[in-house]
Structure 1
């Protein structure tokens, strides 16, 4: 009876001590404290079970788990390369302490503020590199979309999310530009994902590939299709 009373008092004191520890620990360190408390509690429970002669059931549980683990190993070995490949190719996403999420692709870096639902982004490579998306006009963003479609599908999907967030459906229903003055030669190269010095055949091939991806009949944008056609016309006229 006395032994049980001592154990009860020790348990109450331990709980009070743990509560005080959590109160005095900064939030940034609570995760590590959870681990320490959990490991310490597990060690104490194992010691008490060993002292009371009741630890035999742990061995039985481990024995029951062995066949399950042995059957699972081939499955893990089979699917591990697939999981590894997915982790390598997916866009990098990282949560931050101020309730925001950041997603990076080969061309874009995007940040979502979960409190305000504000989506911000920056171009980190290719045309408009270093520019913030908020500083670009719709026509410039359409040119960037063409480049993303050519170079990186993840970037194209990410930019499409930004365009829908900022413009709604307007960016897909806006009237297409007319006249060569809407696109510069550099922008035309960017839309088709080409560099200066590209040959006429390269321009035609890039145009064909782009139109296969973004043609309105395949769910693409009328505006973007018009930009791609205009980019081809500008470059072909320069190479004539």
Structure 2
């Protein structure tokens, strides 16, 4: 009985949405169809979640991602007019990566530490100090962290070297 009521409600909602889309202007139709599709997907997810079947949707989506990636690669090979779309996104990612690399080169630590070089922002996050922190604040934060993370006290070399590099970088900027 509950399924029958649910089907009747879905049919009524679909009819109301269809009438609204049909009576709208041509400029607004595309937008309303998009909103109706999103609302329909949200309703499907809600029904699946309430019925305990949502985990199957997640599994299908996880399995579909690699297949979609390969499918897009094949489509770009067989439909060359799609290539400019992929090239535009690839070019944008390359530009962002080069900007990030340039930003990291401007703030290298004073000595060669393990791991990638720190930026000033990362060093401040590691020590937990504000941008306007003074020398005493930096040294105090370093002292508290190094007591917890020192290899002789159960920490490891990597974490201790990152804390030391953060302190040296921030002190060299002051």
**Structure with more contact order per residue of length (Cα contacts < 8 Å, sep ≥ 6):** 2
TM-score by length of 1: 0.29
Compare the two structures and name the one with the higher helix fraction: 2
Larger Rg computed on CA atoms: 1
TM-score by length of 2: 0.39
Compare the two structures and name the one with the higher strand fraction: 1
